[in-house]
Structure 1
Amino acid sequence: METQIHDFINFLKYIEQLSTNTVDAYQRDLIQYKDYLEQQNLTFDNVTHVQLSQFLRDNEKNSSSIARMASSLRRFYLFLKVNRVVSADPTQFLKVKSSSHRLPKYITLSEFESLISFNLEKPEDYLDRALIEILYGSGLRATECIELKEDHYFPKERMLRVLGKGQKTRVVPLSRASIQALNDYFTNARSIWLTKSSSYLFINRKTQPLSRHYLYNMLKRRSQQAGLAKNVSPHILRHSFASELINHGADLRVIQELLGHSDVSTTQIYTHIDSQAKKKEYNNFHPGQYIKHKEEGEGEEK
């Protein structure tokens, strides 16, 4: 069984290219699972979903940790099944109770498209669209968004370097729609307002960095303009980002890294959306990759 775990860990490292912390978390979970199977004289191939459920109940203390372990095992068995190491997947019938956390509010894709459908007539419109695309397309917190610096943006790589809670840095992908909105913002707003030097990515007419107050008020105003039943906030867009990824099958730990959560149990709250087989992550699943706006073009330069 150690061989199968070793092969899976190498797959995560070199094919999926997950971070060291994420790979280590998978390895800890699977070693714990292997030890349990050996104690019960079981193997990966002959364990039943009933025995698997018993393992989770016996070894995990709360619903969040059970969900985390279940996520690890589902991905591991998908790997084993694809490589024909096992004939059946006991996680297929595994039922895990949701965490008792209050479910996050989010908007649907159609609501997001309504939110973003305002006309681009003045510089502030280009600024607002770029902000909304970034919040929804990369799952940033409000403070993370307004504190972005210009040199945190890598258009050719389609990446942002984000300084999160606890001064922890992470790198997040950008959707094609976000790249387009940022290019439009640079051309039609930032370049016009930049009368003095500023290192901030997002600025106002006075070349000052944006405030959280601006962000929240802007989203409230745009929500009302779109006729939405609820006022959208930066956190609702962040929740929507995570919910869309989970709804389309993205791995829980990858979402954890994208959101900058220190503990996967925090990310687990988003699994109220159906979690399916996990194969590919952000680029294949996030709808921002495919949304077309009135102004086409994916230009890669600022």
Structure 2
Amino acid sequence: MKNNTNNLKISTSATNALKKKTFIDVKSLSEWSQRELTTNFKDIILHFVFSFTSINTRRSYLNDLKEFNLFLERKGIFCIKNIDEKVLISWNNELNSRENLNQKSIRRKLIVISSVFMFCIKRKLVSKNPMEFIQKPKLTFESKTNALTFAEVKILLQYLENNYLEYTQQNIFSRSSKAAILAYSVISTLLSVGMRVEELCQLKLKDIESNPDFTRLHLKVKGNEQHSPIIHPKTASIIENYRKICRNNANENDYLFVRSQNVKIQTKLTQPAIYKMLNIAIQSAGIEKKISPHSCRATLATLLHNQGTPIGEIQHLLNHKEISTTAIYIKKANEIEESAALKLNLDKFHPK
């Protein structure tokens, strides 16, 4: 009974650590991580989730798997070896019965379970993946974001630059001035480098490589891999100006982009903060579009494509594994522009 209580304590510590994005009980977590992996599904969930470095990936997978685990517990299933095709069909049916879930969300939840089984196969806890026999919803490439046009990018960046210059004329070290140059620097970087927003949040001062001929950013991307794109001289200049004003006393291991509030402990930017920053800027610039930080990747891909940049070079810049992903970005962004129906001159058919 004592061992069970201890196991529960360790699992709870690990789960709470994920929720709070910090590792509060380091001793318990260390103790838990050194224990041999068992076939208990709750134990597998935590080992699987902690195998990823991104906090957002961990939280997303944990939410989906906790939900599936509750389903299993209602059926009295606690061991992964007892999760067969019939159980998974039942789970799939339950997901499809929920009105608040779309097919894309259902597909994601099923793929996560499949990933767990592959995780267990590699560790020889099971011999096969029963998810292989479950029909998943077909993936449809819905446009998650709206790309900006060339004219809109020009309007947005001009507004951000003017806003920054206006505040710096009053007081370069004021909170408003710092917030203005932060927004200008962050959004300019997203639009010209095409990095994912999480990659921008993780960017540290030491990740900027400056040479007489070029400036390069060393990014930690998906799969804990490295991607080091060369950036435009204008972007490099904007980042350097931000660094001198806002991060002049920071050391090389500190995050580059931090909150503009005057606080003792500098806190790096988060995805929600950047989303809010971007949409405030869009609305203030008078652009009527709902966009997200991910829109900046689609925008860059489209602008480069329209300028005649080979798609392979765009793929390399955005660090897409498949060129088909890059093609989808461009296709969706150009969908309205390339619509044949919209090019029809209906005025000729209607009397004035």
Q: Which bin holds the TM-score, normalised by the shorter protein?
A: 0.5 to 0.7
- Aligned residue in 2 for 1:145: 200
Query: How far does the alpha carbon of each residue in 1:80-126 deviate from its partner, in whole angstroms, 9 at most, with x for none?
Result: xxxxxxxxxxxxxxxxxxxx734562101221122222311101111
Determine the C-alpha separation between the residues in 1 that align with 2:312 and 2:208: 24
Q: Name stretches of at least 5 consecutive residues in structure 1 with no aligned partner.
A: 1-99, 275-302
Match of 1:114 among 136, 148, 155: 155
Q: Provide the aligned length of Structure 1 versus Structure 2.
A: 174
2:308 and 2:147 mapped to 1: Cα distance?
17
The reply to whether residue 165 of structure 1 matches residue 222 of structure 2 is yes
Structure 2 runs not aligned, ≥5 long: 1-139, 168-176, 335-352
Counterparts of residues 27-46 of structure 1 (less than 5 Å): none
- Residue 179 of structure 1: which of 217, 232, 236 is its match? 236
SS of match in other structure, 1:169: strand
Q: Does 1:230 find its partner at 2:289?
A: yes
Cα distance, 1:198 vs structure 2: 5.1
Instruction: Report the identity percentage.
Output: 27
Per the TM alignment, residue 135 of structure 1 is displaced from its structure 2 partner at its CA by 0.3
Structure 2 residue identity aligned to 1:106: A
Quick check: 2:146–2:295 contact (8 Å CA) kept in 1?
yes
Alignment map for 1:242-281 (pairs within 5 Å): 242-272=301-331
Displacement, 1:172?
1.1
Residues of 2 paired with 1:271 and 1:212: CA distance? 24
Alignment TM-score, normalising by the size of structure 2: 0.46
TM-superposed CA distance for 1:257, in Å, is 1.6
Offset of residue 129 of structure 1: 0.8
Question: Does the 8 A contact of 1:202 with 1:210 survive in 2?
Answer: yes
Q: Distance in 2 between matches of 1:213 and 1:232?
A: 13
Distance in 1 separating the partners of 2:235 and 2:294: 18
Q: Which letter does structure 2 place at the counterpart of 1:109?
A: F
The 5-angstrom pairing of residues 53-72 of structure 1 reads none
Deviation at 1:197, TM superposition (A): 8.0
Aligned residues: CA RMSD: 2.3
Cα deviation digits, residues 195-250 of structure 1 (max 9, x gap): x8852111224311111111011001111111111133211111101111111121
- How big is the shift at 1:251? 1.7
**How far off its partner does 1:147 sit?**
0.5
Q: Aligned letter for 1:218?
A: M
CA contact (8 A) 1:219 1:231 kept: no
Work out which of the residue numbers 237, 240, 244 in structure 1 matches 2:299: 240
Q: What TM-score do you get using the length of structure 1 for normalisation?
A: 0.53
Q: In the alignment, is residue 101 of structure 1 matched against residue 141 of structure 2?
A: yes
3-state DSSP of counterpart to 1:232: coil
Q: Residues of 2 paired with 1:208 and 1:110: CA distance?
A: 34
